[in-house]
Structure 1
Amino acid sequence: MISLNHVNRRAHNWLIYNIGDCSLKKHISLYKGTLYDLGAGESPYKEFFLQHAQQYIAVDWVDSFHDTKSDIIADLNCPLPIDSEVADTVVSLSVMEHLCEPHIMVNEAYRLLKAGGSIVLQVPWQWWIHEAPYDFYRYTPHGLRYILKRAGFVDVTIEPQAGFFTMLALKVNYFSLRFIRGPKLLRLVIKAVLLPFWYLAQTTAPLLDKLDKDWELEAPGYFVTARKP
């Protein structure tokens, strides 16, 4: 198994990447055949997916904030220049919040999939604004289920990725980044002071999440799977 630790992460946010890795590994059985990664960015999970799928195709647009390595250049807010029923799996990770027309991407994913194919999504819920101005939406489980079912998907499963305390720890960590400013030496000193707090918050939050009996209400994000009948 290829480690996912090569994916870009920082001292203040490694927990959310670890959580994402667990979600991806949990659904290994869904990555098969020809896999399309919509909004692939730098394709950080390409090697991981290719352990299970036979072909990986990255799709993204030219104005991405990332150093994209796309096989197909396309705007996910518009119909895609891809034939119908060519994909066994469609994945789209932390992308839907950046789409001004998310229903078009979901409808297109349905069109691309073969019968019986799966869509795998990750979306944030309690999360800060990022990659502005291309940050348009946050999705509740009810909204996600509506969009997917309206497109025709069945067997929609929506899993909260963590609870209240993980959400809170990550919010505090991201907020504290704003205090790292000034001359280089001062920034280094501030970061050195913050590092133990970042680490403590991220190591204790998953333990405290056991006190949260309904993760769905305050999750940092959701991992979603569904099937085309």
Structure 2
Amino acid sequence: MKPSQYHSNRQPYNWLVYNIGDKFLEKYSKLYKGILVDLGCGEAPYKAYFLQYADKYIGVDWSKTLHNSAADIESDLNKKINLPDEYADTIISLSVMEHLCEPQVFLNESYRILKKGEYMVLQVPWQWWIHEAPYDYFRYTPYGLRYLFEKAGFKILSIEPTGVFFTTLFLKFNYFTLRFTRIRFIGVFLKLLLIPIWTLLQVVAPLMDKLDRQPILEAPGYFVVARKE
């Protein structure tokens, strides 16, 4: 079972970003255990996947989510999270922190609810379009991520790019041309023309990314793995 198999946002123009995310989530699967808390879970598309490893899944999100919330706990992640100290064996947060106006509070609270010696896995975009407006506040470089995590008390184990230059470029092209499929009357026809182009670009992007010798610089986003010391 792939992590994003049932994700409602997986579409012909962006499946590459979900394939990349699947690769990282599977890479870190040995960290998922016990009580796994998914901060900013939305529709909880990864619940079944995580329950292959963890004993219990707890989804947390706020009442103003733009998704059909499947949260078990309602909590504003910009404030104190409605969970006790050292509650979680694992914390997951995917494409969430860019939507928080108080990211340091979020990481401080993540540190508080995580058990000592355990892990947080977080993914955020970097070169990505504004989405879910008006709740889209920040983009994070690897240096900004390290600063915020370490300020909260975490030890960073890794910060890895989710693709590099050509993945970034081609995904931007796909999202830009997606706008034309919404043109009245001709949008459906344009989509039929664009789908083969979107597919080809997503197939060749990982191959062309091998030409980039500085992958950290042009990523669509980053995955962070951090431990509570």
The normalised TM-score by structure 1 is 0.97
Corresponding residue number in structure 2 for 1:195? 195
Corresponding residue number in structure 2 for 1:164? 165
| Deviating 4+ runs (over 6 angstroms) | none
Corresponding residue number in structure 2 for 1:112? 113
- Do residues 44 (structure 1) and 45 (structure 2) align? yes
Are 1:2 and 1:47, in contact at CA under 8 Å, matched by a contact in 2?
no
SS at match of 1:58: strand
Give, as a single letter, the amino acid of the residue that structure 2 aligns with 1:205. A
Are 1:35 and 1:90, in contact at CA under 8 Å, matched by a contact in 2?
yes
Deviation per CA, 1:145-189: give whole Å up to 9, x if none.
0000111111431001111000000000000011123334x1111
Q: State the percentage of identical aligned residues.
A: 57
Are 1:121 and 1:223, in contact at CA under 8 Å, matched by a contact in 2?
yes
Corresponding residue number in structure 2 for 1:132? 133
Corresponding residue number in structure 2 for 1:226? 226
Query: How far did 1:53 drift?
Result: 0.6
Distance 1:32 1:46 in 2: 13
The normalised TM-score by structure 2 is 0.97
Deviation per CA, 1:41-78: give whole Å up to 9, x if none.
00000011111110100000011010011110010000
Query: Structure 2 matches for 1:31-180, cutoff 5 A?
Result: 31-180=32-181
Corresponding residue number in structure 2 for 1:5? 5
Query: How far did 1:115 drift?
Result: 0.7
Distance 1:122 1:49 in 2: 16
Gaps of 5+ in 2: none
SS at match of 2:182: coil
Distance 1:181 1:48 in 2: 33
SS at match of 1:207: helix
SS at match of 1:68: coil
Query: How far did 1:5 drift?
Result: 1.8
Are 2:62 and 2:75, in contact at CA under 8 Å, matched by a contact in 1?
yes
Give, as a single letter, the amino acid of the residue that structure 2 aligns with 1:211. L
Are 2:3 and 2:25, in contact at CA under 8 Å, matched by a contact in 1?
no
Distance 2:224 2:145 in 1: 8
SS at match of 2:86: coil
Distance 1:47 1:176 in 2: 33
Aligned residues: 228
Deviation per CA, 1:167-225: give whole Å up to 9, x if none.
000000000011123334x1111101111110111011110000001111000010100
SS at match of 1:210: helix
Distance 2:92 2:208 in 1: 31
Query: How far did 1:3 drift?
Result: 5.7
Distance 1:210 1:141 in 2: 20
Deviation per CA, 1:111-135: give whole Å up to 9, x if none.
0011111110000001000000000
Deviation per CA, 1:77-117: give whole Å up to 9, x if none.
00112110111111100000000001111000100011111
SS at match of 1:180: helix
Gaps of 5+ in 1: none
Tell me how large the CA RMSD over aligned residues is.
1.0
